[in-house]
Structure 1
Amino acid sequence: MASRPLRKTLGGVVTYLVWIFMSVFTLLPIYWMFVVSARSRVELFGGPNLIQTTFFAENYLKPLSNPAYRGYLVNSLIIATSNAVLVMILAIMATYALSRYRLKGDANIFFWTITNRMAPPAVFLLPLFLLYTRVIKIGEWSLFDTHIGIILIYCVFNLPFAIWLLKGTIDGIPAELDEAALVDGANTLTVIVRIIVPLAAPTIAISGILSWIFAWNEYLFAATLTSVNARTITTGLAEFVTVTGTNWGEMAAMAVVAILPGLLFLSLVQRYIVTGLTFGAVKE
């Protein structure tokens, strides 16, 4: 009998050791990025040292004084926020229709809606590039290198996930609430705004948060479908790699600046993320 508590203790120790290893493995690259961003070029090539005691502020001040990089940050903020708002609005409308109306092949509609997330994004690069530069073109204007162009493609990839999140929540809201409101003279839009949105608010919020994070961090589509006007901060990091070498300190500094909004945002809303992902159905 004495071996059972021992096995339980050993199992707990092993579990904690695994979690510690995974935490270090995950956080060490982020920590090293902060260290590199605080070092001068001489310190970077002076030998490995995990402890940083000085701070080389020029790595931050020089890029942030450049209007181009400030513009990249503004572009990222505009694109990520617009994408999140658009995804939430469209997801609510689409999910309400799929949940409340019985359409021919509605199960297939829901399935085909989420299939575009099954293919790797790289598959869509060439068709989208041709679509943006040659097909959707009016004179000299096209969707290439525009805010609306990148917002739309992010919406296409985020919307299925948002619909999938919302489907179970809205299915769990009793249809009798809708019917009672319609009897009282409300229209469909009023039902959605005053009944569905408040009851499904946690899930709607998490869909918006995850959409914002995806758009802020995304690189592949931003690098392919933008060049100057709609360039984001993630693609701007590539400019630190030049023919004369790589400016590791400034690149790391701008990478820190790029991840700080997401980290701050997540730290403020992390409990709402758990609430949104575990939000249960409303019981009758």
Structure 2
Amino acid sequence: MIETKGFRWFRKVVLTFLTVFTVLPLYVLVVTSVKPLENVRGTFTWFPDRITFQPFVDMWTTIPLASYLGNSLIVTTTATVLALLVAVLAAYPLSRLRFRGKRLFSMTVLSTQMFPGILFLLPLFLIFVRVEDLIGVELTGSYLGLIVTYLTFALPFSIWMLAGYFSAIPEGLEEAAMIDGTTRVGALVRVILPVARPGIIAVGVFAFITAWGEVLFASVLTDTQTRTLSIGLKLYTSQTDTLWNQLLAASLTISLPVVIAFMLIQRYLVSGLSAGAVK
């Protein structure tokens, strides 16, 4: 296909617009986070009159941000690891084995992504309360409840993605390993998982990002001790004032794990495509 001059100009205009649309909010975020609060409260200026990094220092003491950061890391990391473990064990049979109800199970897993999360909020909360009454395991206001919730919502997409990734791996690799004397489980661990590492990492990063910024369930299932970052940021706002520079400084700081996660996705997806090209 030969690109016309008009199409090239159209592409440049669209890419320029998308770049500005993406970079401009980030610029405002960074500029506001290094302004003194009195400058933030005044008329917005594109260039700060005075730059200060004090908001990045004060944000840790204004609210217990470090505690909320620890809570988010505990919940998000645990949910991600469990989601990967269960997704691998579920996706591998879907991609390799034939059993009754396989198609129905696959469609059911995928269809759960069509429903909004708020639809499950009240039923899930009632289930947690009922479980607490029956067996005494605390699920509301604890790490466990939030981990189970995030695991529930990360698993369907993780299973669906990994099943497709495993299906793209030639079965001859496992057959050769089993001919050499290993079991199917051994072939999965020693052969399939190393080959599927880019896909597994991409799915893990997706699960991490989904849990890291979740607000709806965290606002209901946490208390003052287990509050996560997405809920804790609201404490920079009171009935009379909002510490905008500290709020945006904290937002910029806690966005770093997400940025790193996307960098990991890009790195491993590129390596995976390169490996596929070599094959």
TM over 0.5: yes
Instruction: Give, as a single letter, the amino acid of the residue that structure 2 aligns with 1:115.
Output: S
The CA distance in 1 between the partners of 2:165 and 2:277, in whole Å, is 6
Give 1:173's match in structure 2, choosing from 165, 169, 174.
Answer: 169
Counterparts of 1:115 and 1:142, CA distance in 2: 30
- What's 1:143 paired with? 139
What residue in structure 2 maps to residue 87 of structure 1? Answer: 83
Q: 79-88 vs 101-110, which deviates more?
A: 79-88
**Closer, same or farther in 2 for the Cα pair 1:169/1:264, shift >3 Å?**
closer
Partner in structure 1 of residue 248 of structure 2: 252
| Range with greater deviation from structure 2 (86-95 or 222-231) | 222-231
Note the C-alpha offset of 1:141: 4.6
Q: Does 1:190 align with 2:181?
A: no
Matched with 1:129 is: 125
Structure 2 residue corresponding to 1:29, chosen from 25, 28, 34: 25
Q: What RMSD, in angstroms, separates the aligned Cα atoms of the two structures?
A: 2.6
Change (3 A) 1:265 1:174: closer
CA apart distance, 1:114 = 1.7
Q: Structure 2 stretches of 5 or more lacking a match?
A: none
Contact conserved, 2:202 with 2:268, CA < 8 A, in 1?
A: yes
Task: Measure the CA separation in 2 of the matches of 1:24 and 1:9.
Answer: 23
Whole-angstrom distance in 2 between the partners of 1:168 and 1:134: 37
1:261/1:9 Cα in 2 relative to 1: closer, same or farther (>3 Å)? same
Q: Deviations over 1:127-175 (max 9, x none)?
A: 1122223334467652112222212211111111112211222123333
Kept in 1, the 8 Å contact 2:177–2:187? The answer is: yes
After superposition, give the CA deviation of every residue in 1:182-226 in whole Å (9 maximum; x if it has no partner). 344423331211011012111111101111111112222212211
Deviation at 1:79, TM superposition (A): 1.8
Counterpart amino acid of 2:56?
Y
Equivalent residue of 2:46, what SS?
coil
| Residue of structure 1 equivalent to 2:45 | 49
Letter of the aligned partner of 1:254 in structure 2? A
- For residue 145 of structure 1, what is the amino acid of its counterpart? G
Contact 1:35/1:50, CA 8 A, preserved across alignment = yes
Residues 179, 131 of structure 1: alpha-carbon distance in 2 compared, 3 angstrom cutoff: same
Tell me the CA shift for residue 277 of structure 1.
Answer: 7.9
Which amino acid counterpart does residue 166 of structure 1 have in structure 2?
A: L
Q: Secondary structure at the match of 1:243?
A: coil
CA displacement at 1:10 relative to structure 2:
2.6
TM-score by length of 2: 0.89
C-alpha distance in 2 between matches for 1:17 and 1:125: 43
Instruction: Give the alignment partner of residue 208 of structure 2, picking from 195, 198, 212.
Output: 212
2:106 and 2:273 map into 1 onto residues whose CA distance is 19
Amino acid at match of 1:202: P
* 2:252 pairs with 1:240: no
Q: CA deviation at 1:107?
A: 0.7
Query: Could you tell me which of 57, 63, 83 is aligned with 1:61?
Result: 57
- Give unmatched runs, 5+ long, in structure 1: none
Pick from 24, 34, 38: which aligns with 2:34? 38
* 1:44–1:232 distance in 2 versus 1, CA, 3 Å: same
Report the CA distance between 1:16 and its aligned residue: 0.8
Shift of 1:279: 7.7
- State, as a whole percentage, how many aligned pairs show the same letter: 35
1:8-23 → structure 2 map (5 Å cutoff): 8-23=4-19
